[in-house]
Amino acid sequence: MQGHDVRVLQGYLTVAGYPTSIDGDFGATTKSNVMKFETAHQLTVDGVMTYAQTRVLRQLVATALAGGAVTKATIDAGGTATAPTGAPPAVQAMVAAANQIIAKPYIYAGGHGRWNDNGYDCSGAVSFALHGAGMLASPEDSTELESYGAPGPGKWVTIYANAGHTWIVIAGIAFDTAHYGSTTPGGTGPRWLSDPTGNLADGGNYVVRHPSAL
C-alpha cells in the first residue's frame, strides 16, 4: 500500500509517539508501529488500521497538538534551542537533532551523502532535523522538499522551499543556513533564528509545506 493516506497515517503515528518515516510506503516499519499502537491501546493487534482505530489515533494526535505551539521554542546564549513544554515528541526530537549540528560549517551538498557529515547545506540541515524525528528516511534537496508532507504551514513545523533554498520553522523559530539578522553563534552553517520568516527578505518565492499532523 502506498500513497497520500499512508503518509498521513505515518505522520499521525509520529506525533502520537511512534516515530515513522513519512515516505508513503506501508512497509514493515510502518506496520510494526501500527502494531505497537494497537498493543498500547488494547486494540486488535494485526497491523491493519480500521476506522475505529483511526479515530483513536486521531484523538491521540489532537491531544498532542492541543493548543498548538502557543509558546515558542527558546534560543540560549550558546545557540542551542529548547522546545516548549508540552511540545509533541516529534517536535522535541527535531529540536534535539538540529542542536547537534549548529556548530558545523556550511558545505554545499553537505548532509546528502551521509547523515553525520562535516558540514551541511540548507536542505541537508532541514533533512537532518526531520530525520531526527523519524520523519525522513533519506536526505532531500530543496526542490524535493517543495513536495514534502502536506501543503501550507503547520501548527508546530513549517518548511519553506524553492529550487535555490530551504529552511524549517520548528515551534516558532527558524533553523537555517542563511542569516538575515543576527545569529548566535555566528558562522556559515545551520543556526537557529528567532524570526521564523526573516529569510523571506531574500525575495524568493517559496513553497510552504509541513509534516502531516504537525
Residue ranges of domains in the chain: 4-64, 74-210
- 75, 89 in Cβ contact below 8 A? no
Whether 4-64 and 74-210 share one fold: the answer is no
**The predicted structure's pLDDT at residue 69:** 45
How distant, in Å, are the alpha carbons of 21, 35, 58, 113 from that of 149?
Answer: 11, 23, 17, 22
Domain 4-64 fold: Muramoyl-pentapeptide Carboxypeptidase; domain 1 (1.10.101)
For residue 24, with 0-12 CB atoms within 10 Å meaning exposed, 13-18 middle and 19 or more buried, which class applies? middle
CATH of 74-210, one of 3.40.710.10, 3.90.1330.10, 3.90.1720.10, 3.40.630.10: 3.90.1720.10
| pLDDT in the model for residue 83 | 95
- The number of beta carbons lying within 10 Å of the beta carbon of residue 40 is 13
- Per-residue pLDDT tens, the chain, 214 aa: give them: 888 788 778 878 877 778 787 778 899 999 999 999 999 999 999 999 999 998 898 888 776 665 554 578 999 988 999 999 889 999 999 999 999 999 899 999 999 999 999 999 999 999 999 999 999 999 999 999 999 998 888 889 999 999 999 999 999 999 999 876 555 556 678 999 988 887 877 777 888 899 987 8
